[in-house]
Structure 1
Amino acid sequence: MKANPSVRTPRHAVAERPFIVIWESTRACPLACLHCRATAQPDRDPGELSGSEARDLMRQTAEFGRPSPLFVITGGDPFQRRDLNDLVAYGTSLGLRIAVSPSGTPTLNRTNLTAVRDAGAVALSLSLDGSTAERHDAFRGVDGVFEWTIDGWRTARDLGLKVQINTTLTRYSLPDLADIAALVRREGAMLWSGFLLVPTGRGRQLDGLTPQEVEDAMHFLYDCGAVIATKTTEGHHFRRVAVQRAIHAERGTRPEFGPLHGELIRRAAELGLFDGSLRTRRRPPMDVSSARGFVFVSHTGEVHPSGFLPVSAGSVRHGSLPDIYRTSDLFVSLRDPARLRGKCAHCEFSQVCGGSRSRAHALTGDMFAEDPYCAYRPGTFPHQAELRAVLAPASSRSGSSCDR
Structure 2
Amino acid sequence: MSARPVRRQHQDVTDKPFIVIWESTRACPLACRHCRAQAVPDRDPRELDTEAAKDLLHQVASFGHPAPLFVITGGDPFQRPDLLELIAHGRQAGVPVAVSPSGTPTLTAENLRAVHEAGAVGLSLSLDGPTATLHDGFRGVPGVFRWTLDAWDTARALGMKVQINTTVSRHNLYDLPEIAALVHQHGVMLWSAFFLVPTGRGRDLAALTPAETEDVLNFVYDVGLTIPAKTTEAHHFRRVAVQRAVLAARGEDHVEALGLGPLYRRLRQHAGELGLGEATRRVRRPPLDVNAGRGFVFVSHTGTVHPSGFLPLGAGSVRTRPLPEIYRESELFVGLRDPDRLGGKCGRCEFRRLCGGSRSRAHAVTGDPYAEEPWCAYVPGSFPHQRELAALLTPPS
Q: Same fold (TM over 0.5)?
A: yes
Tell me how far apart the structure 1 counterparts of residues 396 and 60 of structure 2 sit (CA, whole Å): 28
Counterpart in the other structure of 1:294: 296
Counterpart in the other structure of 2:359: 357
Partner amino acid, structure 2, of 1:267: H
Partner amino acid, structure 1, of 2:140: G
- Greater CA drift, 384-393 or 140-149: 384-393
Tell me how far apart the structure 2 counterparts of residues 345 and 86 of structure 1 sit (CA, whole Å): 45
Residues 314-329 of structure 1: pairs in structure 2 closer than 5 A = 314-329=316-331
Counterpart in the other structure of 2:281: 279
SS at structure 2 position matched to 1:193? strand
Counterpart in the other structure of 1:98: 97
C-alpha distance after superposition, 1:256-277 (max 9, x if no partner): 31110001011111111223x5
Whether the aligned pair in 2 keeps the contact of 1:360 and 1:369 (CA below 8 Å) is: yes
Counterpart in the other structure of 2:124: 125
Tell me how far apart the structure 1 counterparts of residues 35 and 136 of structure 2 sit (CA, whole Å): 14
Counterpart in the other structure of 2:86: 87
Counterpart in the other structure of 2:333: 331
The alignment status of 1:267 with 2:234, answered yes or no, reads no
Counterpart in the other structure of 1:210: 209
Counterpart in the other structure of 1:305: 307
SS at structure 1 position matched to 2:245? helix
C-alpha distance after superposition, 1:139-176 (max 9, x if no partner): 00000000000000000000111000000010111111
Partner amino acid, structure 1, of 2:270: R
Unpaired segments ≥5 residues, structure 1:
396-404
Unpaired segments ≥5 residues, structure 2:
none
Tell me how far apart the structure 1 counterparts of residues 270 and 283 of structure 2 sit (CA, whole Å): 24
Partner amino acid, structure 1, of 2:252: T
Counterpart in the other structure of 2:377: 375
Counterpart in the other structure of 1:179: 178
C-alpha distance after superposition, 1:262-311 (max 9, x if no partner): 01011111111223x52012100000010100000000000000000001
SS at structure 2 position matched to 1:22? strand
Q: Which has the higher contact order (CA 8 A, sep 6+)?
A: 1
Q: CA deviation at 1:203?
A: 0.1
TM-score, scaled to structure 1: 0.96
Whether the aligned pair in 2 keeps the contact of 1:245 and 1:254 (CA below 8 Å) is: no
Counterpart in the other structure of 1:388: 390
Tell me how far apart the structure 2 counterparts of residues 178 and 18 of structure 1 sit (CA, whole Å): 32
Tell me how far apart the structure 2 counterparts of residues 154 and 69 of structure 1 sit (CA, whole Å): 27
The alignment status of 1:162 with 2:161, answered yes or no, reads yes
Corresponding residue to 1:258 among 240, 257, 261: 261
TM-score, scaled to structure 2: 0.98
SS at structure 2 position matched to 1:250? helix
Q: CA deviation at 1:351?
A: 1.5
Tell me how far apart the structure 2 counterparts of residues 98 and 121 of structure 1 sit (CA, whole Å): 5
Number of equivalenced pairs: 393
Tell me how far apart the structure 1 counterparts of residues 69 and 243 of structure 2 sit (CA, whole Å): 29
Q: CA deviation at 1:244?
A: 0.5
Q: CA deviation at 1:393?
A: 4.0
Tell me how far apart the structure 1 counterparts of residues 95 and 197 of structure 2 sit (CA, whole Å): 29
C-alpha distance after superposition, 1:224-257 (max 9, x if no partner): 1011100111100000000000111101012231
Partner amino acid, structure 1, of 2:392: V
Please report the RMSD computed on the Cα atoms of aligned residues, expressed in angstroms. Answer: 1.0
